[in-house]
Amino acid sequence: MTNIARIQIQLNIITELAEKLDAAKKNSSKLDSQAKANKNWKKNQVIQMPEQIVVSYKNTLCSIHSCNCHIKCQLQYIEGMGSTEFKRCAAFGSQDICSNHVCAEFRNNTKCTFEHPYHDYKEWRTTEKTVEVVYDDMQQLYHASVTEKQMLDVEIDHNKGRIAFIKHASEMALIELLEECRDMVQKVKGFNLIAYIDVVLEALNKNIEDIQDVVRRVELKAKVDFFMALLINLQNSQSSNRLTYSRR
């Protein structure tokens, strides 16, 4: 009846693998939730930004700020920048400082001087553009979670395969043990011995398909432990110990 010892070893291995499998599944689920929470690490965002467009009229524009000093300036076209002629522009009113409030806002309330504007047939306008924004922290968490989950899933599949293989081997050993017990029932006439074997038969006749279930693992382990004690008792013909097993 060495099958009992083999079953005990196999059950211990299955128990250890099943516990690892349970822990890996929990971690995989946690990583999956973490990946989903950070999957939108790249988003489209609408922003407003200044842009120059070509127009049919001449404007006085600021060379250092994205703003229009004077729309449809009536001065004769002035080439280049720095000319004192810009003082005659309505934006300056014969002063050195631009009076356009937009220009001042773009300069943190520091107005530009007549040396900064220029003439052009263009105009600054605010346009909306969709840009892609990447959140680095979310991106790192997402990729780390996905990678770790993939590794865990490989481990889960591997342990599932090992459990299935060992479970099959255990079932084969149980079948062999069952046949041995039946043979002993036929050969042995001692009432107590037959009673012990009946307990074995009762346990073995219950299928262990749910061996990955925690409750079933505990139950089966208790029965195998009893089998081990039974084997020792059977092998020691002089033993006066009586074994009792609580049937559930």
Determine the pLDDT at residue 85: 93
Q: What is the pTM of this model?
A: 0.51
85 secondary structure, DSSP code: G
- End-to-end CA separation in angstroms for the chain: 24
Determine the pLDDT at residue 21: 86
Concatenate the DSSP letters of all residues of 21-69 into one string.
HHHHHHHHHHHHHHHHHTTT-EEEEEEEEEEEEEEEEEEEEESSSSSEE
Handedness of CA 50, 54, 59, 61 (dihedral sign): positive
Say which residues have a Cβ less than 8 Å from residue 58's Cβ, sequence separation at least 6: 72, 73, 77, 119, 120, 121
Determine the pLDDT at residue 147: 95
Share of the chain above pLDDT 70, in %: 66
User: Of residues 99 and 41, which shows the higher confidence score?
Assistant: 41
Q: What is the pairing mode between strands 117-134 and 42-62?
A: antiparallel
Determine the pLDDT at residue 53: 94
Is the CB of residue 41 less than 8 Å from the CB of residue 133?
A: no
Domain residues of the chain, as ranges?
Answer: 3-39+136-235, 44-132
Residue carrying structure tokens 């924004």: 133
